[in-house]
Amino acid sequence: MASAILTRENGPFKYDVYLGFGVCDLQTMLRLQEKLEQRDILCYPKYNAGYLQQSVKSAVVEGVARSRKCLLYVSQAFIEDQWYKYEMAEVLYKVRRFSRDMLIVLKDPQLARVPPELQTYCVLTITDLSRLENPGFVDNIAAALKKGM
């Protein structure tokens, strides 16, 4: 979890990607974060033990604003998260201001369908969670995150 300390030095974006997810998906996303950071992608996760003094609301605002792109892990836990609507408003506002390709959606295998407000963005469906362990799949995510950097 080096992203709690490391930031990019130049430009308005100090992180490469904001990771949005439900609190129940924390372990899955920590593994993905580790794999992305091994590929030199600095992550700002919504839930991070390194920011215990920070509220979730401030983490969402800062993470979305200070990250070049946003990756949302859309699961039932994410949709049921108490910060879901607020987080979606922040992310979609940024998408409208910058570019639609700054948002990547990873769809959980247990979720029947992506919420309507996310269906028109880059949606990667994970057939099972073991895909997140596949180096090729993670390389594809990393390439999509680095595109335009």
Domains of the chain: 2-146 (3.40.50.10140)
- Measured CA to CA in angstroms, residue 9 lies from 24, 48, 127 at distances of 32, 21, 37
CA 75 to CA 28: how far, in whole Å?
11
Res 84: pLDDT: 94
Res 34: pLDDT: 95
Give the residue ranges of DSSP H helices in 38-117: 56-65, 76-80, 84-97
- pTM for the predicted model, two decimal places: 0.88
pLDDT per residue as tens digits for the range 37-94:
999 999 999 987 665 567 888 889 999 999 999 999 999 999 999 999 999 999 999 9
CA 46 to CA 5: how far, in whole Å?
15
Encoded tokens for 103: 């948002």
